[in-house]
Chains A and B, each alone.
Chain A
Amino acid sequence: MSRRQFALPQRSGDGPPDDTGCTILHVDMDAFYASASLLARPDLVGTPVIIGAARGRGVVLSATYEARRFGVTSAMPMSRAQRLCPQATVLPPDHELYSRMSSAVMEIFRSVTPVLEPLSLDEAFLDVSGAIRRLGPPATIGQLIRDTVHDEQRVTCSVGVAPSKFVAKLASGLAKPDGMVIVPVDEVVPFVQQLPVGALWGVGERTEEALLRLGLRTVADIAHTPLTTLTRALGDVGGRHLHDLSWGRDPRGVEQEQRERSIGSDETFAHDLDDPALIHRHLLALSERTASRVRKAGLAGRTISIKVRFADFTTITRSRTLREPTDVSREIYETAVGLYDALGLQRARIRLVGVRMDKLLPVEQAPIQARLDEPDHGWRDADRAIDRASARFGSGAVRPASLIPREQSSSRPPGDLS
């Protein structure tokens, strides 16, 4: 989902766009979570709907276009979204539904081409150069995908058709909702250059500020700025990268089935916490969740990091790289707690903690130097057993005793640890 919407620029050519050589497709589901959730609530179609936890301090996961018209965007704090659009219906997210629909949609993509790079649950790049003889020109393929997704899943998507990933992504953003934009090879440069600098991939608020300070408002301005000026302002890599993009140059190919580079989860507390015992318990829950996702993906990781956000929103991360890759919940938890305790916090008020694993690799490539003193059956086997129980009886069927919610009468509920 793009951060901002930009107007569709004026086409420079006449007649229907020529899609020769535009073999990269970027397919993005329109307000995916919201559209998916509305399948079960047809009565809400056409009204503003926000997906996210209604209570507490969660953020907006998705919103219908009717709600977006009020300025609601994803990742916005829920409280702010509800102030902007008080009449919106707030629906809780149904992650199982989303992931089921996402795999179905990815399956549709895969039936078009195996050269597929999913970016998240709801968007992917496709390189269709190998499918043209079978299915027709890229624009036809794009339309085919849009039709199939709508027929099979009853949700809409937008497609960008272009010669490179970056232009395709821009095009799909401009096609939204429920549209398709084709950028022919010889229109790439004028197409890109009439956009504002903020539209470029990799230009966030900071970079945009830096560019505006230099008086660069449109991509064309960047394109006609000497490279040395850009590298001085943005660094060697960043400057060169932007300059290339401004001329529509993006050599990156579609990387098939890119494996996840990191897996982790965060939790924003309902109330700021300062009790180390409670924080440890949340770290345990997050470690368990992260580890089970790592195992489910068939991966193991060496670097474990924690994120701590204080009440004043200052955020710090700390990480430690282990000697061996691991997928064992216990090891991840112990490392996370070690990192947390090493911060030496004195009852600081904490708003959010997160646990993340990096340097992931497929578990079959993760050799484990066994220890002389380890038992024949250790935590690794316990994890495997818990995974099997969870697969059968639902997640959380077996969990650390400290994560079993206390009785309702408890004077101090441990918060939502599901």
Chain B
Amino acid sequence: MKFRVERDVLAEAVTWVARGVPARPSVPVLAGILINADAEGSITLSAFDYEVSARITVPADVQDAGTVLVLGRLLSDISRNLPAKPVEFSTSGNKVDVTCGSSRFSLMQMPEGDFPTLPTAPEASGTIDGGAFTQAVAQVAIAADRGDTLPILTGVRVEIDGDKMTLLATDRYRLAMRELHWNPAATDANQVLLVPGRTLLDTAKSLGTTGSIDLAFGGAAGGDGLVGFEAGQRRSTTRLLDGEYPKVSSIFPTSSETEVVLATAELVEAVKRVALVAERNTPVRLKFGEGQVTIEAGTGDDAQASEAVEATLTGPDLEIAFNPHFLLDGLGAVGTAYTRISFTQPSRPAVLSGQDEADGDADTSYRYVLMPVRFAS
């Protein structure tokens, strides 16, 4: 095997594929990236850890076709640090020589025959705008559980109903839901997928916000337990989570007593400042009334802070406490200049949604439901 590839092309390709290289491989061969040089003038890089697979095809000047398997982490480190010159790969014996300008690397070949076959290239079940998808995933994935108490909650629930797609995640303290449209191949598409949250976020970000993304699931993804993503030459599959996602429809409050509209950035700044004195696990307290919200944190024995932010209030005054990180996550995710927060009672969940104008209507395509912090009595 022998080929020559541009350094930037190589680095980008390796970065994409390295997502599929496990940090602690269960079998040594999974630590590798498979490089396949095609005589037609392209190379394909693949990685697979039985959970996530990643593959990319990029143009290269191929002299001799062939396949090698090299250590992924090493290849990724090397390709990021090479000078901006064409990179040449060639095999000699059981080594792979990598030459770029005057720097040379000699990598051990791994037994490529032992490398598992990647799930077959999925056939698209539909497409979605890359920008919209990436934003939606980022908005929802923040609420996915990071712990290990309930593995199912580490996933993002993706519900497909015709051209409607609903993303949802919760860690039982907050819940984020985003509704958006996509272009299904079949109008009667109907499916619920549980995609591991971190992988989904990572994949959506890496696929890029430009262009459209092909989604494949069910039979089209080469098996029921898989979801496939494809954008340009980048392809990835992810194993879905198994199990029943808890029923969440009853969590959304059906009515609200108090509604508040605030400038998102102002509130974020104020909460960040006040939260500096909130010790681990202690809340910030929000008092709504008289055209403003007063944010306070800290207790009598320790440092205290308070700050007021203008707010448009409808309904009775209210005092409520939140975990500052959870509140900031939600405020960061609405992505609009103004945020509307609806409350019923200080002990019941609040709902955050975004709106573009101070006196406009809320855009309920994204909702972030946050449970308050209360004090034992």
1/0 per residue B328-349: CB within 8 Å of A?
Answer: 0000000000000000000101
Q: Does A365 contact B (CB under 8 A)?
A: yes
**Do A371 and B371 have beta carbons less than 8 Å apart?**
yes
The residues of A that contact B369 with a CB separation of less than 8 Å are: 372
**Complexed CA–CA distance, A367 and B173 (Å):** 13
**Complexed CA–CA distance, A69 and B174 (Å):** 65
The residues of A that contact B376 with a CB separation of less than 8 Å are: 300, 327, 363-364, 366, 368, 380
Most B CB contacts (10 A, CB to CB) among A300, A364, A370 go to A370
Chain A min CB distance to B377 (Å) = 8
**Do A367 and B172 have beta carbons less than 8 Å apart?**
no
The residues of B that contact A368 with a CB separation of less than 8 Å are: 373-376
The residues of A that contact B147 with a CB separation of less than 8 Å are: 323
Q: Does A96 contact B (CB under 8 A)?
A: no
**Complexed CA–CA distance, A363 and B375 (Å):** 8
**Complexed CA–CA distance, A323 and B372 (Å):** 15
The residues of B that contact A324 with a CB separation of less than 8 Å are: 281
**Do A370 and B347 have beta carbons less than 8 Å apart?**
yes
**Complexed CA–CA distance, A120 and B11 (Å):** 66
1/0 per residue A293-311: CB within 8 Å of B?
Answer: 0000000100000000000
| A333-392 contacts to B (CB < 8 Å) | 363-373, 380
Q: State which size class the interface on A falls in.
A: 10 to 19
**Do B246 and A369 have beta carbons less than 8 Å apart?**
no
Chain A residue with minimal CB distance to B149? A323
The residues of B that contact A380 with a CB separation of less than 8 Å are: 376
Chain A residue with minimal CB distance to B173? A369
| A382-412 contacts to B (CB < 8 Å) | none
**Complexed CA–CA distance, A324 and B281 (Å):** 7
Chain B residue with minimal CB distance to A362? B376
Chain B min CB distance to A395 (Å) = 21
Chain B residue with minimal CB distance to A373? B172
Most B CB contacts (10 A, CB to CB) among A364, A365, A369, A371 go to A369
**Complexed CA–CA distance, A380 and B299 (Å):** 24
Chain A min CB distance to B201 (Å) = 21
Chain B residue with minimal CB distance to A302? B281
**Do B246 and A370 have beta carbons less than 8 Å apart?**
no
**Complexed CA–CA distance, A325 and B377 (Å):** 13
Chain B residue with minimal CB distance to A371? B172
The residues of B that contact A300 with a CB separation of less than 8 Å are: 376
- Secondary structure type dominating chain A contacts: mixed
**Do A371 and B173 have beta carbons less than 8 Å apart?**
yes
**Do B174 and A372 have beta carbons less than 8 Å apart?**
yes
**Complexed CA–CA distance, A372 and B373 (Å):** 11
Chain B min CB distance to A257 (Å) = 14
The residues of B that contact A323 with a CB separation of less than 8 Å are: 147, 281
**Complexed CA–CA distance, A324 and B375 (Å):** 11
The residues of A that contact B371 with a CB separation of less than 8 Å are: 369-372
Known contacts A372-B170, A372-B174, A373-B172; is A367 also within 8 Å of B246 by CB? Answer: no
Chain B min CB distance to A324 (Å) = 7
Most B CB contacts (10 A, CB to CB) among A323, A365, A368, A372 go to A372
**Do A372 and B251 have beta carbons less than 8 Å apart?**
yes
**Complexed CA–CA distance, A18 and B347 (Å):** 62
Chain A min CB distance to B101 (Å) = 52
The residues of A that contact B323 with a CB separation of less than 8 Å are: 369
**Do A372 and B349 have beta carbons less than 8 Å apart?**
yes
The residues of B that contact A327 with a CB separation of less than 8 Å are: 376
Chain B min CB distance to A296 (Å) = 14
**Complexed CA–CA distance, A368 and B374 (Å):** 5
The residues of A that contact B282 with a CB separation of less than 8 Å are: 367
Q: Does B31 contact A (CB under 8 A)?
A: no
Q: Does B221 contact A (CB under 8 A)?
A: no
Query: Which of B251, B283, B347, B375 makes the CB contact (< 8 A) with A373?
Result: B251
**Do B172 and A372 have beta carbons less than 8 Å apart?**
yes
1/0 per residue B45-60: CB within 8 Å of A?
Answer: 0000000000000000
Most B CB contacts (10 A, CB to CB) among A323, A367, A370 go to A367
Q: Does B175 contact A (CB under 8 A)?
A: yes
**Complexed CA–CA distance, A368 and B246 (Å):** 22
Most A CB contacts (10 A, CB to CB) among B281, B326, B371, B376 go to B376
The residues of A that contact B175 with a CB separation of less than 8 Å are: 372
Q: Does B321 contact A (CB under 8 A)?
A: yes
The residues of B that contact A363 with a CB separation of less than 8 Å are: 375-376
1/0 per residue B169-188: CB within 8 Å of A?
Answer: 01011110000000000000
**Complexed CA–CA distance, A366 and B349 (Å):** 19
Chain B min CB distance to A164 (Å) = 27
Chain A residue with minimal CB distance to B247? A373
**Do A365 and B299 have beta carbons less than 8 Å apart?**
yes
Query: Which of B173, B321, B374 makes the CB contact (< 8 A) with A372?
Result: B173
**Do B373 and A364 have beta carbons less than 8 Å apart?**
no
List 13 other contacts, CB 8 Å, given A369-B326, A373-B246: A323-B147, A363-B375, A364-B377, A366-B376, A367-B281, A367-B282, A368-B374, A369-B173, A372-B172, A372-B173, A372-B175, A372-B251, A372-B349
Q: Could you list which residues of chain B lie within 8 angstroms of chain A, going by C-beta atoms? A: 147, 170, 172-175, 246, 248, 251, 281-283, 299, 321, 323, 326, 347, 349, 369, 371-377
Q: Which 5 A-B pairs have the closest CB atoms?
A: A363-B376, A367-B373, A370-B371, A371-B172, A372-B251
Q: Could you list which residues of chain A lie within 8 angstroms of chain B, going by C-beta atoms? A: 300, 323-325, 327, 363-373, 380
